[in-house]
Amino acid sequence: MSTEQIWEDFISLNSFSDFSFEVLEPAIAYSKQDPEIHLSNYTSEESLSDFIAKDHYPLPSTKDREGYFGNSHYSYWLSGLRDYLILKSILKDNDVPLSSCLDLGCASGRVIRHFGVQDTDIDVWGSDINYKHICWVQKYLPSHIKIFQNSSIPYIPLPDNSLDLVTAYSIFTHVESFDLAWMAEIRRILRPGGIAYITALTDFSLRNLNNKIPVYKSLKNHKDFSEDLIEKPMNKDKYIFRYRNFGSYSSVVFLNTEYISNAWSRMFKIIDIKRQFPGFQDAVIMQKI
C-alpha cells in the first residue's frame, strides 16, 4: 500500500498497514517498579498477587499503548486493573450482573485484558479506530476476547440489547461531533439496566488544568487556546481544539456538564458524574432504562 492517504483513514486509522511489534514481559516482570497507582482502596495485597499471577500475557510497549505511563509498565498494568475493579464495584452497587462488555476505543487492551484474563466466563469485546491496536490484541491477548475496528462514523456492529456494560475511556475527549449518535448506538446495544461508563474532559477539567496535566502541555500552544478559557465559565456546549482538519482522532474536546446533563440524559439515566475519577478526566456513569 502506498503512503498516499486512503479514504478509510479519514474515518479510521492505519486500516491497511502491516505491523510488527516488540512486546514487553508480563506484568509480574515489572512488579518491583515503584507504582504511580496504588490499589489499596480497591483490593488486598494478597488478591493483587493473584491478579498478577493470573495475567501471563505480554504488555504493550509504551508506543503501542498510546504512550500511557511512559516507562512505568507496572503502573500501566495497575491502571487497567484499577479501572476493572472500579467497574465491577459499580455493577455490584447497581445490581447489574456481568456477562458481556465492550470497551469502545480499547487501544491495546489496557482495561479489557483484565476482563479477559480475570473473568474467563464473560463475553468480552473491544474496538478501536486504529487497526494497529486491533492487531496487537489479536496477537497477544486471550483468543476469547473479540476485537474489531470501528470507524468514527457512529456504528457498533453488535445486536440490540446485547451487553451489560459499555465503557469508553478517553474517547469522547476526541469526538468532535456525533457524540449523540454514539450515545444512541451505545444505548441500542446495552440491555435495559446496562451501564455505560464514559470518561470526558469537562468544564470542571478545564478549570483544573495546570502544568502537571499532560493535555495542558499540548493545548497551551494551540492557536484557539488561551488562559482566559480556564478562568471563565464555559459559554458553549463544547470547546473543540482541532490539530488537523482532516482525519479522525485529531482534536481535544471539552464538554460542558450542563450539556452532558441535558443531552445525554435524554437517552440514559445519569447515575453519577464523578469528578476527576480516578484520574484527571471525569467519569459519567449512566444506565439504560
Ligand X SMILES: C[S@@+](CC[C@H](N)C(=O)[O-])C[C@H]1O[C@@H](n2cnc3c(N)ncnc32)[C@H](O)[C@@H]1O
Q: Which residues bind ligand X (CB under 6 A)?
A: 13, 66, 68, 104-107, 110, 128-130, 133, 150, 152, 169-171, 174-175, 248-249
Neighbours of 268 (CB within 10 A): 21
Preceding amide of 159 cis, omega within 30: no
Query: Nearest distance from residue 111's CB to ligand X, in Å?
Result: 6
Query: Nearest distance from residue 232's CB to ligand X, in Å?
Result: 27
Neighbours of 16 (CB within 10 A): 10
239: which strand partners? 254
Query: With respect to ligand X, which residue has the nearer C-beta, 65 or 288?
Result: 65
CA-CA distances (angstroms) from residue 202 to 193, 207, 256, 260? 26, 9, 5, 9
CA-CA distances (angstroms) from residue 149 to 12, 43, 207? 8, 33, 34
Query: Nearest distance from residue 95's CB to ligand X, in Å?
Result: 26
Query: With respect to ligand X, which residue has the nearer C-beta, 198 or 229?
Result: 198
Give CA–CA dist 175/180, Å, rounded: 10
Query: Nearest distance from residue 131's CB to ligand X, in Å?
Result: 9
Give CA–CA dist 137/150, Å, rounded: 14
Query: With respect to ligand X, which residue has the nearer C-beta, 30 or 76?
Result: 76
Phi, then psi, of 190 in degrees rounded to 5: -75, 145
Query: With respect to ligand X, which residue has the nearer C-beta, 136 or 239?
Result: 136
Give CA–CA dist 170/156, Å, rounded: 17
Query: With respect to ligand X, which residue has the nearer C-beta, 30 or 197?
Result: 197
Query: Nearest distance from residue 261's CB to ligand X, in Å?
Result: 22
Task: Copy the grid coordinates of residue 5.
Answer: 492517504
Task: Copy the grid coordinates of residue 24.
Answer: 514487553
Pick from 152, 157, 95, 96: nearest CA to 126: 157
Query: Nearest distance from residue 248's CB to ligand X, in Å?
Result: 6
Report DSSP letters for 87-116, one per residue: HHHHHHHTT---SEEEEET-TTTTTHHHHH
Query: Nearest distance from residue 231's CB to ligand X, in Å?
Result: 26
Query: With respect to ligand X, which residue has the nearer C-beta, 32 or 244?
Result: 244
Q: Are 136 and 114 in contact (CB under 8 A)?
A: no
Query: Nearest distance from residue 84's CB to ligand X, in Å?
Result: 12
Query: With respect to ligand X, which residue has the nearer C-beta, 101 or 104?
Result: 104
Query: With respect to ligand X, which residue has the nearer C-beta, 130 or 202?
Result: 130
